[in-house]
């Protein structure tokens, strides 16, 4: 757990001490899970001289889209949201790697149809960089199915969607695995509870499409660009069958927090040699270089936090 003492949280336009960052038990955010959020990463540059936030704009656009789909009565501009995130990191003077959570929740005491008032919070938690070996996962195809666009759209990054993720995660952990992989109601591969999935077959990266029960992941998009622009190995986005996972040469999960997390075992069967795959490792090396600013795929992906 992160140290809470001395931390400041952005809450509705003010920076408040960590202990005071609270919302009411009767708010629709608590009663119905009426809350959308983004998890965003800050990265120290390799020489330690600065901090950049990775793909801030895309995260904030997705936050706006989540609020729009759920008909939140208040909208925030990209400029406002950007200032909230940058202000939170600056006020806390976090100059290491970090995880930033910005959240828009429905407050008041409204009932099911309440779309406001909308509250906004932002936190920043320092975190340590971890070697790819420390992120290696053993996965289980969960017996829970992924939520879908007709009932609980995975495209919306709503806190309530994570009930689905939690069901799979607690089942996987109880059965001795690290991560669930969800199938859609049609039986096709979707994603894990908190990350998207790539497999490699005969050197070709393959990942489910954005209409196949997944969050429109920013890291997935980054990987697609890395595969096409840097590694000269364009990925295919298509429906993926469960049994393709069993015959894949490599597999990895990807997400802002997961970064590149190799999957070495699925349902107790080795993926490839049961080790971190060569292409997975190569993709991680590039991803790491991109987030730290030593390899440039798109200059707009890094937002510097501090001027000095
Ligand atoms: N799928 C789910 C369900 C997630 O929670 C996340 C994490 N936000 C992802 C995929 C990866 O998304 P991103 O790369 O935008 O962090």
pLDDT in tens, 219-237: 999 999 999 999 999 999 9
**pTM of the entire predicted model:** 0.97
Kindly report the backbone phi and psi dihedral angles of residue 259, in degrees, each rounded to the nearest multiple of 5, phi listed first.
50, -120
| pLDDT value, residue 1 | 45
Please give the Cα distance from 143 to 172 (Å, whole number).
Answer: 10
| pLDDT value, residue 307 | 84
- DSSP letter, residue 149: T
- Domain(s) labelled CATH 3.30.470.10 in the chain stretch across 8-126
Please give the Cα distance from 51 to 41 (Å, whole number).
Answer: 10
Q: What is the mean pLDDT of the chain?
A: 97
pLDDT in tens, 61-82: 999 999 999 999 999 999 999 9
- Domain(s) labelled CATH 3.20.10.10 in the chain stretch across 132-292
Q: Are 288 and 261 in contact (CB under 8 A)?
A: no
- DSSP letter, residue 73: S
Confidence class for position 48, pLDDT limits 50, 70, 90: confident
Residues 35-59 have a mean pLDDT of 96
Q: Residue 101 C-alpha to ligand 1 middle, in angstroms?
A: 13
Q: Residue 217 C-alpha to ligand 1 middle, in angstroms?
A: 5
Q: CATH classification of 132-292, choosing from 3.20.10.10, 3.40.50.620, 1.10.645.10, 3.40.449.10?
A: 3.20.10.10
Nearest CA to ligand 1 atom 9: 195
Query: Which has more confidence, 28 or 49?
Result: 28
Q: Residue 139 C-alpha to ligand 1 middle, in angstroms?
A: 17
Nearest CA to ligand 1 atom 12: 217
Nearest CA to ligand 1 atom 5: 194
pLDDT in tens, 277-293: 999 999 999 999 999 99
CB of 196 sitting under 6 A from ligand 1: yes
Residues 124-153 have a mean pLDDT of 97
Kindly report the backbone phi and psi dihedral angles of residue 61, in degrees, each rounded to the nearest multiple of 5, phi listed first.
-65, -40
Confidence class for position 6, pLDDT limits 50, 70, 90: confident
- DSSP letter, residue 299: G
Q: Which fold has domain 8-126?
A: D-amino Acid Aminotransferase; Chain A, domain 1 (3.30.470)
């Amino acid at each position: 757990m992160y140290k809470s003492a001395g931390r400041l949280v952005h809450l509705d336009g003010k920076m408040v001490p960590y202990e005071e960052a609270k919302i009411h038990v009767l708010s629709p955010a608590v009663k119905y899970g009426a809350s959308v959020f983004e998890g965003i990463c800050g990265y120290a540059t390799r020489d330690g001289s600065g901090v950049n936030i990775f793909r801030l704009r895309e995260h904030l656009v997705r936050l706006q889209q989540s609020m729009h789909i759920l008909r939140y009565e208040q909208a925030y501009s990209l400029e406002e949201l950007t200032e909230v995130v940058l202000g939170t990191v600056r006020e806390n003077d976090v100059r290491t790697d970090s995880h930033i959570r910005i959240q828009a929740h429905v407050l008041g005491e409204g009932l099911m149809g309440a779309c406001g008032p909308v509250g906004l919070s932002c936190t920043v938690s320092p975190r340590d960089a971890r070697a790819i070996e420390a992120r290696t996962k053993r996965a289980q195809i969960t017996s829970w199915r992924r939520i879908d666009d007709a009932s609980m759209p995975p495209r919306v990054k709503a806190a309530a969607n994570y009930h689905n993720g939690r069901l799979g995660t607690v089942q996987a952990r109880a059965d001795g695995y690290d991560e669930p992989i969800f199938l859609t109601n049609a039986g096709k591969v979707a994603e894990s509870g908190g990350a998207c999935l790539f497999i490699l077959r005969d050197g070709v990266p393959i990942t489910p499409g954005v209409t196949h029960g997944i969050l429109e992941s920013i890291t997935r998009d980054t990987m697609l660009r890395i595969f096409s622009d840097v590694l000269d190995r364009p990925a295919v986005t298509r429906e993926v069958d469960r049994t393709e996972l069993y015959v894949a040469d490599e597999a990895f999960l990807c997400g802002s927090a997961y970064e590149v997390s190799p999957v070495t075992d699925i349902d107790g069967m080795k993926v490839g040699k049961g080790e971190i795959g060569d292409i997975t490792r190569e993709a991680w090396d590039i991803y790491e270089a991109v987030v730290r600013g030593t390899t440039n795929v798109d200059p707009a992906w890094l937002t510097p936090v501090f001027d000095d």
